[in-house]
Amino acid sequence: MVISKYLQLAIKASLKAGEKIMEVYNSVIEVEYKDDKSPLTEADKQANDIINSFLLPTQIPIISEENKQTDYSIRKNWETCWVVDPVDGTKEFIKRNGEFTVNIALVTNGKPVLGVIYVPESKVLYFAEVNKKEGFKVTLNSHQTSIEDLMEKATPLRPKQGVSNPVQVVGSRSHMSQDTLDYMETLKATGKDVEVVSKGSSLKFCLVAEGHADVYPRFAPTMEWDTAAGQAICNAVGIEVISKETNKSLMYNKENLLNPWFLVHK
């Protein structure tokens, strides 16, 4: 199995960022709040600096939650860009429940082409390239594992074939909206039982990609950096991430970086 230089770079960046995040996680966590009231920790800032240090030499522009956003008048001319969330699930990080991730995706013409999701607390890594139609998962012994070693241990992601009964629906621990509850009621109306599977951060995409859930309805606000890596991993194994506005795949590097509501399913 051979992976592209950009996927290798994204993996290396995520592992190095994960190592730094765990240093902060295992110390006293000091929390600031941004203008939109979302929490910010030293882990977000330090992980962002590390990821930038890996990605900037590619000369591909970066959209990161923790970078100052470039004006759309410039961004609209970007054919390819990185989309990064240094710590996805900062609330989970602060709660110390382990369900936070490093998300790194490469987007070309508005579509994710590769994605990495790293879970620093458990050292679980998901990665995929969409054009190769394969995604992988590996549990590492160390944040310093080499690309060669992790490739040897990685196993292919296998989503479910067909829909189970009960239907396993991914729900957020922190953001279960009324629209999501209504969606589950429509499933029940078709005669299906529904089981809710909860995870924090971008791990909700991974649940569907690795066959631990059937569908992930997200009818609550997310930003592009929350979803790009997860979408790449899902798309690589045949899972769609469909906008409720357009009924087509979620697109990236939009004028407004806020995502519409979406549905992740086979």
Domain identity same for 219 and 113: no
* Domain span at 223: 167-265
Strand pairing report for 62-64 and 80-88: parallel
180 and 66 share a domain? no
pLDDT attached to residue 174: 57
CA–CA gap between residue 56 and residue 110 (Å, rounded): 20
5-25 helix and 42-55 helix, angle to the nearest 10 degrees: 160
Count of the separate structural domains present in the chain: 2
Considering the domain boundaries, does residue 84 fall inside one?
yes
- Enter the pTM of the model: 0.95
152 and 256, same domain (yes or no):
no
Are 26 and 116 within one domain?
yes
Shared-domain flag, residues 143 and 223: no
Question: Residue 239: which CATH number?
Answer: 3.40.190.80
CATH code, domain with 149: 3.30.540.10
Is the separation of the CB atoms in 123 and 175 below 8 Å? no
15-43 pLDDT tens trace: 999 999 999 999 988 888 887 778 788 89
Same domain, 138 and 171: no
CB 53 within 8 A of CB 1: no
Per-residue pLDDT tens for 133-177? 999 999 999 999 999 999 999 999 999 998 788 999 998 655 678
In a domain, 162, yes or no: no
Dihedral, CA of residue 186, residue 187, residue 193 and residue 197, to nearest 10: -110
Look at residue 25 and tell me if it is in a domain.
Answer: yes
Question: Does some domain include residue 161?
Answer: no
